[in-house]
Amino acid sequence: MRSREMYGHYRQLIEELSNKAGVGETWFDELKVIAHQFELDAANLARSSAQRLCDELCDQFEQEAYQTDTESRRKVLMAATKLLELQRPSAV
């Protein structure tokens, strides 16, 4: 999967999760699975492309989290940002 396709795919998955979250705490387990799959897919990209993709997704989710009025959606988007930042490919 190319970088642009991955951006759309993972943005959609996390957006869908953020919109349905709120009942129970199972959303975090689902989010961890999505983040792990992202890490595996990003490993197939050039390091700089993977870093840029991760940064773009994190920026997007963080911005949306600050703009939403829904607490559960904000939690999912901020957790996604943190998980992706932790899995961001290093510069070296």
Contacts of 68 (CB under 8 A, 6+ apart): 74, 77
Q: What pLDDT score does 91 carry?
A: 57
- Give the orientation angle of helix 26-42 with respect to helix 3-20, to 10 degrees: 180
Task: Classify residue 69: in a domain, yes or no.
Answer: yes
For position 21, what pLDDT does the model report?
Answer: 65
- The whole-chain average pLDDT of the chain stands at 90
The answer to whether position 42 is within a domain reads: yes
What is the per-residue pLDDT for 37? 95
**Domain that includes residue 9, residue range:** 3-86
Number of structural domains the chain divides into: 1
Q: Which of 37, 39, 16 is nearest to 27 (CA)?
A: 16
- For residues 89 and 81, what is the distance between their CA atoms, to the nearest angstrom? 14
Q: Hey, is 58 helix, strand or coil?
A: helix
- Where the chain has pLDDT below 50, the residues are none
> Is 91 within a domain?
no
Do the beta carbons of residue 32 and residue 62 sit within 8 Å? no
* Domain contains 92: no
